[in-house]
Each structure stands twice: as C-alpha cells, then as structure tokens.
C-alpha cells in the first residue's frame, strides 16, 4: 500500500490526514489525483490547485513523478508557521 498525506485544509476535505492507496503499478501524482476525482471531485480539484505542492517520500516533486507501492505521497497546500 502507498500512503497519501493531506495537510492543512486538504485534510479537512479528505476527512483525515492519512489515507492508504493500493497500487498494482507505478502511477504519476496526476494519475493519483485522477483516481481520487472518481470518488471526490472537490478534493481532487483542491489537490490540483497550482499552489499545492507534492512530495514523494519527503522530496518535492512535480505532477509527473511516479509513486510505487510503499511510497508516501504528500499534498502540501500553502504553509504558515510562526
């Protein structure tokens, strides 16, 4: 299983920070958003916003990057600390 992480307001939309996703083959981030779109168009649309960044296993990637089983894909909306 791969792990999807939804931070900030994306977690509200996803109904939780973490979600498991079974992968039979490597998929791009864009493919994963496409799968989510089938069940949750609102979340998928939020994930595809330009200001949302993606990280696979802790490294920032673009939408074409591939995730495989056991990988962790994080969706990072605009940050705010301090």
User: What does the binding site for another protein look like in residue numbers (CB under 8 A)?
Assistant: 5, 7-9, 11-12, 17, 55, 58, 74, 76-82
Angle made by CA atoms 52, 25, 73, in degrees to the nearest 5: 25
Write down the least CB distance from residue 60 to another protein, Å: 9
Comparing CB distances to another protein, the nearer of 25 and 51 is: 51
Write down the least CB distance from residue 24 to another protein, Å: 27
Write down the least CB distance from residue 38 to another protein, Å: 26
Residue 72 contacts residue 5 (beta carbons within 8 Å): yes
């Amino acid at each position: 299983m791969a792990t999807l992480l939804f931070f900030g307001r994306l977690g509200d939309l996803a109904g939780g920070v973490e979600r498991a996703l079974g992968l039979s083959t490597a998929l791009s981030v864009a493919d994963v958003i496409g799968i989510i779109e089938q069940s949750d168009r609102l979340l998928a649309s939020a994930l595809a916003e330009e200001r949302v960044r993606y990280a696979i296993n802790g490294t920032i990637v673009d939408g074409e990057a591939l995730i495989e089983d056991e990988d962790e894909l994080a969706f990072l909306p605009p940050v705010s600390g301090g």
